[in-house]
Structures are given as C-alpha cells and as structure tokens.
Amino acid sequence: MHGYMFDNSATAEYQRLDLMSKILDPRTRASLSSLGLTKGWNCLELGGGNGSITEWLCEVVGESGSVASVDINPKLLELIPSQNLSVRKVDVRTEDLPAGPFDLVMCRATLHQVSEYAPAVLAKMAASTRPGGWIFVCEPDFNLVRTCEPAAWAKAWNGIIEWGHSQGVEWYIGRKLPAMVQALGFGYPEAKTEVPNIRGTTRDALYFQMVFEMIRDRAIESGFVDAPTLDAASKLLADPDAWTQCWMLTSVWIRKPLQ
C-alpha cells in the first residue's frame, strides 16, 4: 500500500491545500449548489483536507443539517468550530465510512491518490447515500499537459506523471470517472470537464510551483525527471506573460434511485 504523495504533517502541505482550495472551491460550491444542497441536508465528505468545503457545507445545511467529514489526517478538520460537524480519522482504502444514510456523499481530489481502491471507495459512498440522495466526485486528469507548450513544461510533467505512477497515483483518473460512477448501477451520471488556463505569477501558477518544490528531491532522485527540466518548468510559472495548461478537472454526479 503506497503512502500519501505529500507530507500531510508539513507546513508546506497546509499551504498547498489552501491554494488548491482557493482554486477549486468556487467550482465545487457551484456544482453542489446546483444539486439543491440546502438547510437540513445530512452530508458526508471524504478527504476533507483543510476543511474549506467542510466549513461551507456546515454553513449551508445549518443547524437542522449535519456534516460528517473524514480524512486520514483530520488535524485541520478538528479546528472547525461548527456545532453540526463530526470529524473522524478514516483511511478510506481499508476502513468503513460513518453510518448513513446521507443526502450527499462527496469527495474531491481523493480517488487519484487511492486509485487501486477507487471502485471500492465509490461502492462505500453509494452504500452511505440514502435513496434519492446524491453522490458527487471530482478528480483531475493530467494527460493534456503532456502535449502542452513549451517543451520543458511538457517534459517536466511527463517525468512527474511517470514518477507519480510509480507511487500509486493515477493521474488520468478523471477520464475514467464517469464510467466508474455509472458502474455503481444507478443509471447514467452527469459529468463535466473544465480545462483551466494558467498564467505565470497567478494563484494557479503559485500552486504548481509549490507542488514542484514539494516533490522536487524525490522526483529527481527517481530518475524520471532531471533538475534542469524541473527548474525550466518552474521558471515558466514565474513569467507573467507565459500561458499554459495543466490539468483537466472532471466532476461527476448521480442521484441514487428511490428504489
């Protein structure tokens, strides 16, 4: 069983999660709101991370609703003061989820880190969802970056992706997600994929600079990418006139049948 790709006890990881939340949260909130999320809902979140969506869910469902959030390292989740929140330390690969049923069961940027167990995790999510409730998942797909420009950017990511695969990370899980959710047997899900553009010096660029820094030594040591290539890719992110792309973000949602 592979460990988590990032050191989830490091300060840099907290900063990375904060940046990722600022990038992804508006999309996630819009998607969940479109499902009708409102006061009184009981929600389960897998891989709550720094708790940005957790806290928002608590606010939306209000005192008449509840939120259960699980993570392999729930330290930041435990700092959220919401009275309608319960937090548990759970390894979703091997442990049971909190007892449902829930109106919404969701996860974001979690399944690609536990790809070998993703079908089983989705099955657990389905079992925790009440009839008529919603399952929502969002995952990245990094295949596009392998053909992006400039060449150093694509070359760096080719190496990072290969190294990630050796660590058990499925960088292409986003494209597989709709079929994986359909395999739950609840019918045809809805799905959408977004491709953010990245300009140097912006929040998105800073996020990927941080990722490069956090994985640098291990990725170079692996032999899948060298230092000059990684440095050239990072330098691109510091240029305000440089534009490129990286990940595609796929969201999939389905309503569990009433019967």
Q: Where are the domains of the chain?
A: 11-255
Are 250 and 178 within 8 A, CB to CB? yes
Q: Which residue has the tokens 């460990």?
A: 3
What's the pLDDT score for residue 151? 93
What parts of the chain have a pLDDT lower than 70?
Answer: 1-10
Q: If you ran DSSP here, which 8-state letter would residue 39 be given?
A: T
* Cis bond before residue 178 (omega within 30° of 0): no
Instruction: Determine the distance from the C-alpha atom of residue 61 to the mean position of all C-alpha atoms in its chain, rounded to a whole number.
Output: 22
CA distances from 56 to 17, 32, 37, 156 (A): 16, 11, 11, 35
The candidate with the shortest Cα–Cα distance to 24, out of 138, 135, 134, 112, is 138
* Cis bond before residue 150 (omega within 30° of 0): yes
| Average pLDDT, rounded, for the chain | 94
Task: Using CB atoms within 10 Å of the CB of residue 195, give its burial: 0 to 12 exposed, 13 to 18 middle, 19+ buried.
Answer: exposed
Q: How far apart are CA 90 and CA 114, in angstroms?
A: 13
What are the helix and strand counts (H, E) for the chain? 7, 9
Reported pTM: 0.92
Q: How far apart are CA 48 and CA 54, in angstroms?
A: 6
What's the pLDDT score for residue 13? 83
What CATH class has 11-255? Answer: alpha beta
